[in-house]
Amino acid sequence: MQKNMSTLEKSIMAIITMSKDKVGGGAPIFVVDTEEEVQRTARLFESVLGGMLHKVNETTYVVVRH
């Protein structure tokens, strides 16, 4: 992404998960119920934050800005 967009580089900007008990830490965590909800939330985050969604495992996704 463009360098002038933020000061954060290569950082996890948000965590979207369906299993709340498996995640924790500094990044904002969004707990959702369904796969569709993951996709909907992530699409918004990709556009707004300029980060990219990566699938960590079946229930957890992270938004990372590269």
Partner 1 sequence: MEDYVLPVSLGILFGFIGRVALLRTDYRQYPTQPHGSIIHLAMGIIAAALGSIAIPALLEGEFTAVTFLTLAAQQFREVRNMERETLSKIDEVELVSRGRVYIEGIAMVFEGRNYLVILIAFVTTLASQFVNWWVGVIVGIAGILFALYYKTGKKIAHIADIEPAEVLVEGENVTVNDIYIMNVGLKESLELISKQAIGIILKPKTVDSVVTLSNPGQRQAILHDLSVGLGIFRDSDKPSLVPLSRRDLEDGRVAIFFLPQIKSMEQAVKVVAEVPVLENAVRIPSESEASQA
Binding residues for partner 1, per CB under 8 A? Answer: 1-4, 38-39, 42-43, 46-48, 50-55, 61-62, 65-66
Q: Which is nearer to partner 1, 24 or 57 (CB)?
A: 57
User: How far is Cα 42 from Cα 4, in angstroms, rounded to an integer?
Assistant: 22
What minimum distance in Å lies between the beta carbon of 21 and partner 1? 21
What minimum distance in Å lies between the beta carbon of 63 and partner 1? 8
Order across the sheet with 52-55: list the strands.
Answer: 29-31, 11-17, 60-65, 52-55
What minimum distance in Å lies between the beta carbon of 48 and partner 1? 8
CA 42 to chain centre: 6
